[in-house]
């Protein structure tokens, strides 16, 4: 309390309202790869806001298309508004690039366009799993004659074969060439998704030429567009891929039936609609609770928003007044999500709960300097399979 020494009337401002928790952004993407000018700002995380900005930073004097430039062009064409780019340079140092991106808080999506090797994809998934605030978009191969091979989980490079003694035939490694799986490894908590096949697009530097490119850049732009138009809780699927003129491999319903259960999201061509993103599964186990892209990304957004929005709690007196304030602020944030349609339930009580009281904060927890808040959400899940049950009836039946 202030000290009053002179008689008079004093006015004090007292904070009485809630401290609103704002939803963090979910649409800023980061891309790693070799730029048209392979020597431009190597290893730096550089923000770009449009295609011209990218050319100014990484185009060089005589730009030539690379998987990175195709991805950035496709990202902005499909609705992306802001991206971070790391030129990995001639050495393709993806681990250094990811370390540079780790310092940028606003990034929500990460991709390494055209990189289908298990080692690079494992780096991307590990980066997202470690930070817990990002989602990896991974590219499948351009084509796969054997779709069962595409659903087989990729492994890191096979062990080197032992050196053959003089006069002996060299032995192969444990996995014969061509038998290694093509699908990235599982992410237990669903921090990534893979898309297949590649897209046929116009070269941004020479529109008269067509090129087959990895889809991750275009898909990242579709994520951003979906988030701005509907929300992160809506599956980024059943959307037309802008700029796509064809596919490296066209899939049938039966072929997608092989891929979908294993978390390989298909890009399909439908008559009258064009090329459409037709899958929304993560690399989590099929029976797990994180198998859908919007569920994983919704929880990433909620967790990070609450973390940032409750920084004021640190070092506050750990008592009932603090617990009540936490319940109020977090509950107000989740109420807005429920009203926007991000959570299931006819009432807020069915959609979420926030528990922070003497039960979660025992004397031992308080003595250890901890405030424990339990939050439960009922996320909406996509209607992946729409089923109409149709039967015959007679005219007499009402």
What stretches of 47-116 show up as alpha helix (H) in DSSP? Answer: 51-58, 67-77, 94-101
> Residue 163's pLDDT is what?
44
Domain 29-157+178-291: CATH class, spelled out: alpha beta
Give 376's strand partners: 353
pLDDT, tens digit only, all 398 positions of the chain: 677 788 878 787 776 667 889 999 999 999 999 999 999 999 999 999 999 999 999 998 888 899 999 999 999 999 999 999 999 998 889 999 999 999 999 999 999 999 999 999 999 999 999 999 999 999 999 998 888 888 887 655 444 444 444 444 444 444 334 445 788 999 999 999 999 999 999 999 999 999 999 999 999 999 999 999 999 999 999 999 999 999 999 999 999 999 999 999 999 999 999 999 999 999 999 888 999 999 999 999 999 999 999 999 999 999 999 999 999 999 999 999 999 999 999 999 999 999 999 999 999 999 999 999 999 999 999 887 778 888 887 766 55
What percentage of the chain's residues is helix, strand, coil (to nearest 5)? 30, 20, 50
Intervals of CATH 3.40.50.11780 along the chain:
29-157+178-291
Helix 94-101 crosses helix 118-131 at what angle (to 10 degrees)?
20
Among 343, 105, 142, smallest CA distance to 234 is for 343
**What whole-number distance in Å separates Cα of residue 256 and Cα of residue 266?**
7
Distances (CA, A) of 257 to 32, 123, 231, 262: 31, 29, 28, 9
- This prediction has a pTM of 0.89
> Residue 15's pLDDT is what?
66
* Residue 301: both structure tokens together: 């957004």
Sign of CA pseudo-dihedral 331, 332, 338, 343:
negative
Give, rounded to a whole angstrom, the gap between the first and last alpha carbons of the chain.
76
> Residue 10's pLDDT is what?
79
**What whole-number distance in Å separates Cα of residue 206 and Cα of residue 161?**
45
Would you say 98 and 43 are in contact if contact means Cβ atoms under 8 Å apart? Answer: no
Helix (H) or strand (E) holding 136: strand 135-139
């Amino acid at each position: 309390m202030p000290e009053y020494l002179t008689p008079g009337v004093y006015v004090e401002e007292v904070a009485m309202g809630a401290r609103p928790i704002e939803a963090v952004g979910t649409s800023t993407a980061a891309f790693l790869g070799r730029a048209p000018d392979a020597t431009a700002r190597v290893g730096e995380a550089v923000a770009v806001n449009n295609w011209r900005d990218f050319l100014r930073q990484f185009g060089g004097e005589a730009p030539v298309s690379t998987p990175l430039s195709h991805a950035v062009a496709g990202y902005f064409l499909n609705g992306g508004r802001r991206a971070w780019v790391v030129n990995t340079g001639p050495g393709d140092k993806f681990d250094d690039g990811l370390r540079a991106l780790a310092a940028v808080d606003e990034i929500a999506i990460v991709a390494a366009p055209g990189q289908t090797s298990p080692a690079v994809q494992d780096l991307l998934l590990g980066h997202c799993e470690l930070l817990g605030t990002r989602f990896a978009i991974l590219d499948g191969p351009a084509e796969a004659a054997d779709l069962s091979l595409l659903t087989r989980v990729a492994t890191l490079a096979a062990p080197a074969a032992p050196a053959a003694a003089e006069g002996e035939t060299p032995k192969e490694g444990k996995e014969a060439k061509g038998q290694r799986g093509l699908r990235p490894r599982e992410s237990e908590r669903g921090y990534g998704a893979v898309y297949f096949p590649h897209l046929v697009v116009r070269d941004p530097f020479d529109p008269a030429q067509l090129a087959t490119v990895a889809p991750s850049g275009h898909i990242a732009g579709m994520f951003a567009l979906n988030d701005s138009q509907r929300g992160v809780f809506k599956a980024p699927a059943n959307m037309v891929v802008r700029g796509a003129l064809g596919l490296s491999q066209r899939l049938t319903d039966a072929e997608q039936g092989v891929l979908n259960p294993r978390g390989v999201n298909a890009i399909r061509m439908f008559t009258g609609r064009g090329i459409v993103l037709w899958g929304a599964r993560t690399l989590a186990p099929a029976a797990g609770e994180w198998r859908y892209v919007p569920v994983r990304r919704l929880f990433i957004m909620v967790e990070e928003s609450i973390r940032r929005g409750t920084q004021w709690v640190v070092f506050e007196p750990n008592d009932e007044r603090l617990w009540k304030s936490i319940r109020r602020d977090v509950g107000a944030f989740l109420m807005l999500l429920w009203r926007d349609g991000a959570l299931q339930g006819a009432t807020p009580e069915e959609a979420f709960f926030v528990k922070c009281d003497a039960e979660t904060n025992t004397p031992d927890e308080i003595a250890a300097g901890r405030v424990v808040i339990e939050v439960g959400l009922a996320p909406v899940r996509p209607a992946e399979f729409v089923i109409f049950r149709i039967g015959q009836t007679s005219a007499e039946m009402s």
